[in-house]
């Protein structure tokens, strides 16, 4: 009489793993589009330099579309209230930084106008550009 038991191999079913991974990927893809700091569609000029702005606090995003609509942190403002909006946000920060998202079809005068406002408010200014594809 033999008392030995037969050993069974253990299996882990991974049939549903691909479904779970697909739903996780879909969730993060949708979430990443919602988190965009500046959702205003602006055609940025191209640049070869690939440096990013390091700042411990959130920068102020100012966007101007080609039809001259002004946005401060994705909130539409008029040209007359632009300085007031930037001033209110910059007063909350020790060293405020303004990132300018200007459409490439705008004139240089539009950029200078924003830079003048930022200079009066003692804000650092950075011009956002799109990376070139080489």
In a domain, 90, yes or no: yes
Is 40 a domain residue? no
Closest CA to 58 of 99, 17, 25, 23: 99
Instruction: Look up the CATH number of the domain holding residue 56.
Output: 3.30.420.270
Residue ranges making up the domain that contains 74 = 46-131
CA 13, distance to chain mean position in Å, is 40
Q: Where are the beta strands (DSSP E) in the chain?
A: 46-47, 60-64, 70-72, 75-77, 97-102, 124-127, 130-131
pLDDT, residue 55, reads 47
**In the predicted structure, residue 100 carries a pLDDT above the cut 70:** yes
Total number of domains constituting the chain: 1
- The verdict on residue 29 lying in a domain is no
Kindly report, residue by residue over 42-83, the tens digit of the pLDDT.
666 776 766 665 545 688 888 888 888 889 888 889 888 888
Could you report the per-residue pLDDT of 4-42, keeping only the tens digit for each? 767 777 777 777 888 888 888 888 887 776 665 555 666
Q: Percentage of the chain with pLDDT > 90?
A: 1
Q: What is the pLDDT of residue 41?
A: 67
Instruction: Look at residue 41 and tell me if it is in a domain.
Output: no
What pLDDT shows up at residue 92?
83
pLDDT at 66: 86
Are 44 and 129 spatial neighbours (Cβ–Cβ below 8 Å)? yes
Identify whether 16 is part of a domain.
Answer: no
pLDDT higher than threshold 70 for residue 88: yes
Task: Flag whether 68 is in a domain.
Answer: yes
Q: Is residue 56 part of a domain?
A: yes
Token output for 132: 């070139």
Give me the pLDDT at residue 40, please.
60
In a domain, 123, yes or no: yes
């Amino acid at each position: 009489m033999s008392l030995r038991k037969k050993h069974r191999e253990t299996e882990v079913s991974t049939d549903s793993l691909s479904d779970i991974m697909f739903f996780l990927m879909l969730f993060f893809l949708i979430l990443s589009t919602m988190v965009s700091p500046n959702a205003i569609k602006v055609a940025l000029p191209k640049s070869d330099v690939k440096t990013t702005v390091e700042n411990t606090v959130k920068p102020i995003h100012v966007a101007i579309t080609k039809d001259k609509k002004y946005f401060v942190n994705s909130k539409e403002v008029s040209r007359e209230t632009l300085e007031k909006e930037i001033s209110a946000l910059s007063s909350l920060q020790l060293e405020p930084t303004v990132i300018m998202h200007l459409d490439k079809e705008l004139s240089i005068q539009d950029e200078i106008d924003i830079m003048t406002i930022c200079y009066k408010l003692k804000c650092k200014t950075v011009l956002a550009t799109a990376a070139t594809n080489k």
